[in-house]
Structure 1
Amino acid sequence: MKAFAALYQALDASTSNLAKQAALREYLRAAPPEDAAWAVYFLAGGKPRQLVPTKWLRAVAREAAGLPEWLFDESYEAVGDLAETIALLLPSPAAGAPPLGLAQWLRDHLLPLRGLSPDTQAERLRAQWERLAPEERLVYFKLITGAFRVGVSRLQVTQALAAVSGVDAKRIAQRLMGYTGVGAQPGAADYLRLVSPDDDAAAQGHPYPFFLAHPLALPVERFDDALGPPADWIVEWKWDGIRAQLVRRAEGAWLWTRGEELVSDRFPELQAMGMQALPEGTVIDGEIVVWDGERARPFADLQKRIGRKTLGPKILRELPVALLAYDLLEEGGHDLRGLPQHERRARLDALLARAAHPALIASPVLAGADWADLARQRESARDRGVEGMMLKARAAQYGVGRTKDVGTWWKWKIAPLSVDAVLIYAQRGHGRRASLYSDYTFAVWSGPPGDEGRTLVPFAKAYSGLTDAEMARVDAIIRKTTVESFGPVRSVRPTLVFELGFEGIARSGRHKSGIAVRFPRMLRWREDKPVDEADTLQTLAALLPLP
């Protein structure tokens, strides 16, 4: 744990990519494989489940620190991070405890905390933090609370692993797919497979790292200058589903999402289709959607399947899924990512024609006389249930992640849906925003102006879209208009109106408003608009798609 805590401090304290690479490589070269396995898991984005309820952890820590509740809360508010607050407030540790490695801490001490009775948890917690130096305690509490984050990217971890192992970075990136999945408990053998010089990934069901597009925000009048003619591009609809790769290898079929989750069991008909229709050594990139035979149904229908613990015949019949395929990454066991986009697409179309399966559909390629013609077609996107268009350079290779070399894949999205909403709750942010109230809850009115007893009904949370200067001003207003505090959350007097944008909207029985929105963010601060003129639930309902 001591070495991992030192690595955390080095990464957290530096903004230099070279310094971070040096720290990562030094740690990986020295760490035992079982410790390196967990370190890579956390640093590459693994999200451990919370091991102890936050409310209970606060109570045990406050008692150990000998502080009244109000003083602990004031300290938490000043620091802005629960793990750091507890690490700072606890009394000094006892001396002489033998050091333990990261893997041993997790295996023997941290992971067994989950599910214990509160009294047993309290006893174990006290005994554990007594063994740790103050700098180790910070990492310890971040792991316990499930809030471990540090300023290092997955790409930086990949580069460090490639440097210490001598394995090509693209191969490391492929092997990392699925490594950070939910519930994963990596061990020494998993780490050694990551850095092994043997090329064994093709024998497993691993996908390739997903290639991501850059957002395109130019006016269409500038497309010719920036992009050239449409003939240089493959244009498709941008589907509102789940990005996935279907992998057919080693006499099996696997379905992976962009979030590195293996979802074969959630979509058994697609796994069966892969086995029936695809030859060995095939990897297809595409979008999972609920398909009604002619078009994709709203994402809310797909969510009904995602949330089910069991998939009975009724749900499979009522919500049939298909894979809208738009890229071929592997054929006959050969990696095609280095081929130009148009050649991969031609091979994909030929493969789909041979497969001829109703659950495997080619994403249509769109044609237009010019960019203005395509812009007119794009206006029908929302009616079609899509998010806009994808533009893919015909000569583009399939890269890894969102590359710095922009201009090969663009997402040309339609303008978001939007309403004017009122800020009613605020919470402190994380990282560099830990001292600011930057995470907000928004509400709309239950009825139009003049309705007796109309109230503000919460419907969305958002934290992005404001400049640093705007956020500082909003933070000052929140502090002046606070009505009540609930730990890190404050309710405020309704004085601020924001235009909120979102990608989708659907009915929801889980929300007080009866409506759920997707990817909400602040488009602008409506300083010109009084609170009474903010939008209503009826305004939101009018944006719902037709049945």
Structure 2
Amino acid sequence: MKRFAALYAMIDQTTKTTRKVDALAEYFRTAPEDDRLWTMALFSGRRPRRAITTTRLREWAADRAGIPLWLFEESYPIVGDLAETIALVLPAPKADHADSLTDWITRLRALDDADDTARKSAVLDAWDRMEATERLVFNKLLTGGFRVGVSRKLMTRALAQATGRDEADLAHRLMGDWTPDTTTYRDLIEAPDAAAEASRPYPFCLAHGLDGAAPDSLGPNGDWYAEWKWDGIRGQVIVRAGEVFVWSRGEELMTDRFPEFAGLAGMLPDGTVLDGEILPFDGENPLPFNALQKRLGRKTVPARLLREAPVILLAYDLLEERGEDLRARALSERRARLDRLLNATPPDSPIRPSPLVAHDTWEDLARLRATSRDRRAEGLMLKRRDSAYHAGRKKGDWWKWKLDPLTMDAVMIYAQQGHGRRANLFTDFTFAVWDGNDLVPFTKAYSGLTDAEFRQITAWVRKNTLQRFGPVRQVRPEHVFEIAFEGIAPSPRHKSGVALRFPRMKRWRHDKPVQEAGTLADLKEMLAQYG
């Protein structure tokens, strides 16, 4: 545990990529194999389930620190992180330990079946034997809030440096639904495993946004394919060993949520891997994303949802055909092979090629892009015809040319302090629009402003608070912000009747009086047009 805590501190204290990679590589060379496996799991989001409520942890920490609970609760929003707050208030440890990361995680997971008395005893014992950094890491594991500033690509690079193995092979091995319970370090990193290979997806190829650049800066338009950027779930559909596997870009196995794809094992040759967008479809056109969202979080999909929102895969890339890895081949070849493959499937199959957008000039493409929302698309994807399917985000080959977001001018009515480095600032806000003479809340947003603007609004919030509701403050309705969002859908759970996708603050409208903010009628009109 000491070694892992030191690694965590090293990574947390530097922004330099080389130092992070070197620290990880040294850890992977020297740590016990069980700890290496758990470290890879933790750094890739495979955290143990939380066994203890945060309420209990706050009570136990205040008690062990000898301070009243109210003082702990007042300290928490100032620090901004529960695990760190606990580590800071606890007294110095009474003993030491030589236990590994795996030892502590094993004890932590055993608390699932323990009663409250046993849980408290185990947690206090751990706190009494750990120094401050170890306590911080342990507390993050306890609260389920363990995150670290290391991408999977960096971790894979460090593993390659430590083991001498090919980075692309390691990236492939780390994909999938493995856990430290289902594999070992040697099996995951070193040994061949036919069963795991059958279901394992490839690392996804990701695109950069054009970010205001003109597409003609990319060179001749004839060098590029254009496709619609669909508003669905990016996924890989795999047919291997007579089975079908469906993976999300977030490496979640979603096969059971999309039973429509089960028959593909009889339609596609064994050893097929497709990359595409999973979309709810009415037979001719995509349905709103909201129809697909109803499936998320479900282990099984009821028959009603299957009837109301059947899905298809609009495939835009072929990564493997009859067991041959095609990723190094040019996109033009992969696309031609994809079209041939899917043209041989039955007309009613739940898979079809995502259409290419024909264009003679960049100006033609710009005009077509403007029609994206009519097709329930977010814009266009631009892909270089000769590009390989690389792992992760490589600038130059794939670009997202998205539409400008939808916007609404709204009034800030509530504010809440942020977390981490922004714990002393108000960064989380609730916004409202007018309905007659009333302000109706319709969304929250917490990103989009500069640090200077956050400091400015924080000073204003502290002077203009009307009421407090725990960490939330009601403020005078005096400031208008332009809220940007990617989509709008009906929502009976919200007082406004609508829900926004990816809301954020585009700008602070110092120039606009509160009375000129948007209205609920404006939102309803947007809903009718784009929902």
TM-score (structure 2 length as normaliser): 0.94
**Structure 2 equivalent of residue 328 of structure 1:** 318
Aligned to 2:343: 353
1:74-85 matches, cutoff 5 A: 74-85=74-85
Specify the SS of the correspondent of 1:407. coil
- Any idea what SS the aligned residue of 1:75 has? helix
Aligned to 2:205: 211
**Counterpart among 512, 515, 530 of residue 529 in structure 1:** 512
1:250 equivalent in structure 2: 241
Name the CA distance, whole Å, in 2 between partners of 1:340 and 1:285: 15
* Cα pair 1:34 1:187 within 8 Å, conserved: no
| 1:417 equivalent in structure 2 | 406
Q: Distance in 2 between matches of 1:60 and 1:535?
A: 47
Matched, 1:437 2:415: no
Secondary structure of 1:265's counterpart equals helix
1:23 aligns with 2:23: yes
Unaligned 5+ segments in structure 2 are: none
| More deviation, 49-58/235-244 | 49-58
TM-aligned CA deviation for residue 198 of structure 1: 4.1
Q: Residue 214 of structure 1 contacts residue 409 of structure 1 at CA under 8 Å; is this kept in 2? A: yes
Distance 1:124 1:458 in 2: 44
Residue 122 of structure 1 corresponds to 120
Preserved CA contact (<8 Å) 2:48 2:109: no
Q: Deviations over 1:104-136 (max 9, x none)?
A: 21122x223346554543333223322322221
8 Å contact from structure 2 (residues 256, 300) kept in 1: no
TM-superposition CA deviations, 1:116-163 (whole Å, max 9, x none): 554543333223322322221000111111221222222110101111
Distance, in Å, in 2 between the alignment partners of 1:113 and 1:457 is 44
Partner of 2:138: 140
Q: Does 1:289 align with 2:279?
A: yes
1:378-415 CA distance string (max 9 Å, x none): 22211111111111111111111112xx2211111111
Deviations 1:358-389 (A, max 9, x none): 21111011112211111111222111111111
Cross-structure match for 2:99? 100
Mapped partners of 1:193, 1:466: distance in 2? 46
Aligned pair in 2 of structure 1 residues 48, 444: CA closer, same or farther (>3 Å)?
Answer: farther
Q: Give the Å deviation of 1:217.
A: 3.0
Instruction: State whether structure 2 residue 266 is matched by structure 1 residue 279.
Output: no
Shift of 1:40: 1.1
Q: Residue 24 of structure 1: SS of its match in structure 2?
A: helix
Cα distance in 1, alignment partners of residues 126 and 153 from structure 2: 33
User: What are the residue-to-residue correspondences of 1:378-527 with 2, within 5 Å?
Assistant: 378-403=369-394, 406-445=395-434, 447-448=435-436, 451=437, 454=438, 456-486=439-469, 488-527=471-510
Question: Which residue type is aligned with residue 133 of structure 2?
Answer: E
Contact 2:415 2:461 in 1 (8 A): yes
The answer to whether the 8 Å contact 1:175/1:201 transfers is: no
Distance across 1 between alignment mates of 2:86 and 2:167:
39
Alpha-carbon distance in structure 2 between the residues aligned to 1:185 and 1:332: 29
Query: Which has the larger displacement, 207-216 or 87-96?
Result: 87-96
Q: Deviations over 1:481-527 (max 9, x none)?
A: 23444554433333322111111111112223321111111111111
How far, CA to CA, are the matches of 2:333 and 2:425 in structure 1? 50
1:423, 1:495 within 8 Å by CA — same for their partners in 2?
A: yes
Please give the secondary structure, in 2, of the residue aligned with 1:366: coil
1:326-379 Cα offsets, whole Å, 9 max, x none, are 000111211111111111100100000122352111101111221111111122
The CA deviation at 1:50 is: 3.4
2:281 is the alignment partner of 1:298? no
Give the counterpart letter for 2:221 in structure 1.
Answer: P
Alignment partner, residue 191 of structure 1: 185
Q: TM-score, normalised by structure 1?
A: 0.91
Q: Post-superposition, which runs of at least 4 consecutive aligned residues in structure 1 deviate over 6 A?
A: none
Cα distance change of structure 1 residues 494 and 178 upon mapping to structure 2, 3 Å threshold: farther
Question: Contact (CA 8 Å) 1:420, 1:534: kept in 2 or not?
Answer: yes
Q: CA RMSD in A?
A: 2.2
Letter of the structure 2 residue corresponding to residue 17 of structure 1: T
Query: Any conservation in 1 of the 2:225–2:382 contact (CA below 8 Å)?
Result: yes
- Cα deviations by residue, 1:223-277 (Å, 9 ceiling, x for unpaired): 32x122321111111101000000111222100000110000000111x132121
Q: 1:17 to 1:159 in 2, by over 3 A?
A: same
Code of the aligned partner of 1:217: D
Contact conserved, 1:444 with 1:457, CA < 8 A, in 2? yes
Deviation of 1:318 (Å): 2.1
Alignment-mate amino acid for residue 302 of structure 2: G
Alignment check: 8 A CA contact 1:37 1:188 kept:
no
Q: CA deviation at 1:200?
A: 5.2
- The one of 223, 241, 250 equivalent to 2:215 is 223
2:393 partner SS? coil
| Identity across the alignment (%) | 53
Contact 1:506–1:517 (Cα < 8 Å) also in 2: yes
147 and 162 in structure 1: CA distance in 2 versus 1, 3 angstrom threshold:
same
* Deviation of the 1:87 alpha carbon: 0.4
CA distance, structure 2, for counterparts of residue 261 and residue 45 of structure 1:
11
Unaligned runs of 5+ residues in structure 1 are: none
Aligned-pair CA distance for 1:310: 3.3
**Residues 83 and 244 from structure 1, CA distance in 2 versus in 1: closer, same or farther, beyond 3 angstroms?**
same
Partner SS state of residue 236, structure 1: strand
Cα deviation for residue 215 of structure 1 reads 0.9
Distance in 2 between the 1:273 and 1:425 partners? 50
Structure 1 stretch 389-398 or stretch 209-218: which is displaced more?
A: 209-218
Between the aligned partners of 1:21 and 1:468, the Cα distance in structure 2 is: 29
| CA gap 1:165/1:188 in 2 versus in 1, 3 angstroms | farther
Q: Deviations over 1:154-205 (max 9, x none)?
A: 21101011111222111111111135xxxx7424834323321648587321
1:47 Cα offset (Å) = 4.7
| Secondary structure in structure 2 of the residue aligned to 1:512 | coil
